Structure 1
Amino acid sequence: MANRMQGMRMIAGASVVLLAAALSACSGGSDGQTQDVVRVPADASLTDAGALVADGGVILIAPGTYNETIEVRGSDVTIRGEDRNEVILDGDLALSSGVIATGERVTVENLTVRNYLQNGVLITGLTDDTGAGIARGPDGYVPEDAPDLVPGYLVQNVTSSNNGLYGIYAFNRTEGVIRNNVATGGSDSGIYVGQCDTCNALVEGNIVERNAVGIELANASNSVVITGNQITNNRIGVSVLSNYLEAHGPSRGVRIIGNVISDNNERETPVQAGGAFGIGVGLSGTIDADVSRNRITGNDNVGVWISSSEDFAPYDNVLSGGVFGGNGIDVAYTPAIGDGANCFDLDTNVVTEPAGLADADCGAPTPVGSFTQPDAPQGVAFSQVELPGPQPDAGAAGTEPTQLPDHISFPDLDSVDVPADNFLTEGAR
């Protein structure tokens, strides 16, 4: 962290020195110093605030609409809106991303971000040669070539809507929480966690709707927990996949427990790149996923679809408990490769393809069925998705930074029950 007094001219008289210091601390640090609290727009523009804030500092954004991007490279920084509904970062369908953060233990909270061509909020551990945050490295690199995961992030009480790729995007990060947000109108997904072999990521309490995919995980492994979310009216509710576009494949150890994943048949959404539609949960080439005690209903094609991806075969996945109903097929198991030992602990009234999955022995080779995805209906541009209404505000916005732990805490998943179908209705349409 730069010395806050660095570069200050020493002039005669202690009172004059103190006055100069006070004025400089409020004026934007024109001589390279940083501030613990940066007020936007009083101290700096949104664009300039990221370079002005000190490590451990707070960027406090006043109500207004900002057609800008903020990039923060410092650590332990909090980016906070004074009013969730009135602090609006708007890309005006011209800028790439709203918030870009590359430092350790960064917090983004209590604001709205919309109309960016790529990402609403990008929390990334990947940078280019200039140090700017980016979202994906070279295709086909192996884990040994990937950069170290950057620790610590929290995105909470954010409304992210109508962004051209991802609403809230965590990439090459570990020890993170995405909580109590609303994510809508994402042309790829509302919430995304990718390229992390030890993600230690918690996605909870979010309302995710009217995206191509609600929540997407790609090459995300080990202590990834999706719980207590309302994931409805997307084209696909949750997608967990393995691929070679990012490091650390395949996805392993994902826990999808205690969510509402329903009615993912919304036509007025961006078209999903793979053309899928009417899917509650898709597991593609995943290993050791646990999908339990969810309410998975009203998905026109498949409630839970388990398949292979490239040369990644699914195995050691567990699907148990929960409420199913009104799906085209409740559960489909259709990998092109592999017959690996998955476990289906389901009621006998659950409709499966192939039939009889509920009676299959755990640990034995899983019989393979067939399912062909019907053509998806035509969608709409991400910019045309209906905006969400006002959301609950976090309350008085102080200047104390949000302190993040070195290691996040997970809820007791054994105590999580199947949620009611309307348990998160306050922020939904």
Structure 2
Amino acid sequence: MKRLFYFFPLLIFYGCNSNTEIADRSNVQWQDIEKDLQTALIMASDGDTINLPEGYFKFSKSLLMDEKSNIVFKGAGIDKTILSFKEQKEGAEGIKIADCKNIILEGFTIEDAAGDNIKVTDTEGITFRKVKAQWTGKVSEENGAYALYPVLCKNVLIENCIAIGSSDAGIYVGQSDSVIIRNNEAYQNVAGIESENSNHVEIYENIAINNTGGILVFDLPGLTQYGEDIKVYKNVVKENNHRNFAPAGNIVGVVPPGTGIMVLATRNVDIYKNEIIDNRSAGIAIISYELVAAISEEETKEANEEQAGSAQRVNNNYSLDENYNPYPWEIKIHENVISNDKWFATFQHDFGKLFNFKYPFNPPDIVFDGFIADGKEAKDVLCIDQEDIHFVNLDAPNELENMNEKIEDFLCL
């Protein structure tokens, strides 16, 4: 029998004032429903809905849900039901869900978890809908890695959500299959939206603004699976020029500020009909893990491994994964609007400085690092349908000796 859980605390609650600064919680009257809500998550049966009213609710430890099916966790709406973990003393995640099936998270704001705001693992059927996940105050490398973080999941839907302030990726899907990420907004994260080692992923009609990198499609070594069949289309990827505040050694620390879309060592990626506007360093970057390892080697040695948390680190021993291919291939780029009114690439990263030196007043629209796997040709790696764009081949295998703007070998008009 379906049951509904409602929480009506005895304290008077205050609705969210849309004009209030997000960092200003000084006049909020917090309510404590921690014990009752955790009990409801433990006792929930198949088909239950857990409803939360409007108000501000504080928590000192992670909320946990394991081995449940067909559960709806629903608030009164974004910025109406607000769950704060700013005073968290136990656990890393705000909400952690594991080994479940057909879970819906909808209609609330979650803030300031010690680690990830929401982590979902080993779950088949997970929906994030109209959820805002953020860190308040100024962005910092001490912020949690991921705002929304499904990993090792199947049938993932993330729609109409907002992610702000993650020190890794705002909306992240890792080692998962059959994923849709649509109609979301990502601001002031290191990576706005990221697909990592995931298969059959569609990322469309999202807005990524003022992140370090707008949308990332990564494939990393040493994980449970490799990713392919990714479609990135009809997104607005604009002004992703935020400073990179990832902790030292994290893989996203290699992303130069001003990167619109970056593809790392992934195969069968289709990038089309996106608006890629005013990203200072590069509209689209296609790179290999060879380059990542080379530019990160010294930083990785110095990084404090105890601070790694849930974020993926640079792996300089990637060659030990015999099944991992560090090179991208079958990357199709077509029908995009790529423009940049910024005269200079970033000065916060070596590649930005290089672009300013080599191509002053003309940062590249598309950058390719030049690594091509043995037995592959240029068009096996990268296929571009526009010849009137600024393309740069870094020639990284030869230490940038023959860096060039020759797009001909990559055109497929």
The aligned counterpart of 1:390 is none
Identify the match of residue 334 of structure 1 among 369, 374, 394. Answer: 369
User: Could you tell me how far 1:359 is from its partner in structure 2?
Assistant: 5.9
User: Could you tell me how far 1:333 is from its partner in structure 2?
Assistant: 1.1
1:124 aligns with 2:121: yes
User: Could you tell me how far 1:47 is from its partner in structure 2?
Assistant: 2.3
The aligned counterpart of 1:427 is none
- Summarize the Cα distance change of 1:318–1:181 in structure 2 as closer, same or farther, 3 Å threshold: same
User: Could you tell me how far 1:315 is from its partner in structure 2?
Assistant: 0.9
The aligned counterpart of 1:210 is 188
The aligned counterpart of 1:47 is 38
1:153-183: CA deviations, max 9, x gaps? 1101011101511000111111111000110
In structure 2, C-alpha distance between the alignment counterparts of 1:93 and 1:289, rounded to whole Å: 41
Tell me, yes or no, if the aligned pair for 2:256 and 2:281 is still in contact at 8 Å: no
| SS of match in other structure, 2:163 | strand
Q: After superposition, where does 1:287-302 map in structure 2 within 5 Å?
A: 287-302=267-282
1:176 aligns with 2:156: yes
Matched to 2:225, the amino acid is H
Matched to 1:213, the amino acid is A
In structure 2, C-alpha distance between the alignment counterparts of 1:255 and 1:349, rounded to whole Å: 23
In structure 2, C-alpha distance between the alignment counterparts of 1:361 and 1:293, rounded to whole Å: 17
In structure 2, C-alpha distance between the alignment counterparts of 1:169 and 1:207, rounded to whole Å: 15
1:267 aligns with 2:306: no
In structure 2, C-alpha distance between the alignment counterparts of 1:91 and 1:245, rounded to whole Å: 32
Q: Which runs of 4+ in 1 moved over 6 A?
A: none
User: Could you tell me how far 1:343 is from its partner in structure 2?
Assistant: 4.1
| SS of match in other structure, 2:38 | helix
| SS of match in other structure, 1:200 | strand
| SS of match in other structure, 1:45 | helix
The aligned counterpart of 2:138 is none
Identify the match of residue 225 of structure 1 among 202, 219, 229. Answer: 202
Identify the match of residue 324 of structure 1 among 327, 331, 338. Answer: 338
Tell me, yes or no, if the aligned pair for 1:313 and 1:335 is still in contact at 8 Å: no
The aligned counterpart of 2:52 is 61
For structure 1, the 5+ residue unaligned runs are: 5-34, 126-149, 364-429
| SS of match in other structure, 1:187 | coil
Matched to 1:342, the amino acid is V
The structure with more radius of gyration: 1
Matched to 1:173, the amino acid is C
Tell me, yes or no, if the aligned pair for 1:241 and 1:286 is still in contact at 8 Å: yes
- Summarize the Cα distance change of 1:324–1:83 in structure 2 as closer, same or farther, 3 Å threshold: closer
Tell me, yes or no, if the aligned pair for 1:319 and 1:345 is still in contact at 8 Å: yes
- Summarize the Cα distance change of 1:275–1:227 in structure 2 as closer, same or farther, 3 Å threshold: closer
- Summarize the Cα distance change of 1:93–1:257 in structure 2 as closer, same or farther, 3 Å threshold: farther
Matched to 1:64, the amino acid is Y
In structure 1, C-alpha distance between the alignment counterparts of 2:235 and 2:115, rounded to whole Å: 27
The aligned counterpart of 2:387 is 348
- Hey, which of these two has a bigger chunk of helix by percent? 2
| SS of match in other structure, 1:118 | coil
In structure 2, C-alpha distance between the alignment counterparts of 1:241 and 1:254, rounded to whole Å: 10
In structure 2, C-alpha distance between the alignment counterparts of 1:282 and 1:45, rounded to whole Å: 43
Identify the match of residue 98 of structure 1 among 86, 94, 98. Answer: 94
Tell me, yes or no, if the aligned pair for 1:46 and 1:69 is still in contact at 8 Å: no
The aligned counterpart of 2:229 is 253
1:293-348: CA deviations, max 9, x gaps? 10112111111111112542111111111101117211011144525513433332
The aligned counterpart of 1:426 is none
The aligned counterpart of 2:178 is 200
The aligned counterpart of 2:407 is 357
User: Could you tell me how far 1:89 is from its partner in structure 2?
Assistant: 1.3
- Summarize the Cα distance change of 1:335–1:173 in structure 2 as closer, same or farther, 3 Å threshold: farther
Which piece of structure 1 moves more, 262-271 or 296-305? 262-271
Tell me, yes or no, if the aligned pair for 2:384 and 2:411 is still in contact at 8 Å: no
- Summarize the Cα distance change of 1:69–1:46 in structure 2 as closer, same or farther, 3 Å threshold: farther
In structure 2, C-alpha distance between the alignment counterparts of 1:46 and 1:300, rounded to whole Å: 45
In structure 2, C-alpha distance between the alignment counterparts of 1:215 and 1:109, rounded to whole Å: 19
User: Could you tell me how far 1:362 is from its partner in structure 2?
Assistant: 4.5
Matched to 1:114, the amino acid is E
Matched to 2:192, the amino acid is G
1:58-108: CA deviations, max 9, x gaps? 111122323253222211100001232131111115352122222101000
The Cα RMSD (Å) is 2.3
For structure 2, the 5+ residue unaligned runs are: 10-32, 136-142, 290-317, 319-324, 343-362, 394-404
Tell me, yes or no, if the aligned pair for 2:245 and 2:253 is still in contact at 8 Å: no
Tell me, yes or no, if the aligned pair for 2:163 and 2:171 is still in contact at 8 Å: yes
Matched to 1:280, the amino acid is G
In structure 1, C-alpha distance between the alignment counterparts of 2:114 and 2:222, rounded to whole Å: 21
In structure 1, C-alpha distance between the alignment counterparts of 2:411 and 2:76, rounded to whole Å: 54
The aligned counterpart of 2:218 is 241
The aligned counterpart of 1:80 is 74
In structure 2, C-alpha distance between the alignment counterparts of 1:151 and 1:72, rounded to whole Å: 14
Matched to 1:286, the amino acid is T
User: Could you tell me how far 1:239 is from its partner in structure 2?
Assistant: 1.3
Residues paired across the two proteins, number:
302
Tell me, yes or no, if the aligned pair for 2:213 and 2:255 is still in contact at 8 Å: no
User: Could you tell me how far 1:257 is from its partner in structure 2?
Assistant: 0.5
User: Could you tell me how far 1:185 is from its partner in structure 2?
Assistant: 0.3
- Summarize the Cα distance change of 1:351–1:181 in structure 2 as closer, same or farther, 3 Å threshold: same
- TM-score, scaled relative to structure 1: 0.66
